[in-house]
Amino acid sequence: MFRLLIFIAGIGPTAAVADALMPLRTIRAKEIITAEDIGWQSAQSESLVQIDDVIGQEARIALYPGRPIRPGDFGPPAIVGRNEIVTLIFQRSGLHIVTEGRALERGAEGDMLRVMNLSSRTTVSGLVRPDGSIEVR
């Protein structure tokens, strides 16, 4: 942990205190963060994230009260869960194939996921679409 020391004439070194965005309760990984879960508290370092960036996002790791929230601690909520049955879509040169697959990992919109095609039992990778289907590349 870094500590910024400020020298004030006649007083000596003083630790800089700033407001940081922190959880007000323990937020488990994969949980959606709400406005009631977070707040500004005094800390030894300034927050690198804004409150509007965090609300509605999913915690990537467990967040504990008293520890500032960092940019890598949250992200878009997953819309596809591991082992979930999803629609696989393949489109190329006029060919359009739709089948079912099983997601091998969790993912949010725009993430690349590995999915097992249930018909052929092969593993393919695809992009998560807003409706939760997977566009195979």
Residue span of the structural domain in which 91 resides: 85-136
Q: In this structure, is residue 93 part of a structural domain?
A: yes
65 and 89 part of one domain: no
This prediction's pTM? 0.69
Looking at per-residue confidence, does 137 or 101 come out higher?
101
The arithmetic mean of pLDDT across residues 41-58, rounded, is 83
Taking a C-beta distance cutoff of 8 angstroms, is the pair 12, 37 a contact? no
pLDDT score for 8: 52
CA distance 137 to 132: 16
Report residue 81 CA to chain centroid gap. 14
The arithmetic mean of pLDDT across residues 107-115, rounded, is 95
| Phi, psi dihedrals of residue 23, rounded to the nearest 5° | -70, 145
Q: Cβ atoms within 10 A of the Cβ of 8, count? A: 8
Q: In this structure, is residue 1 part of a structural domain?
A: no
65 and 116 part of one domain: no
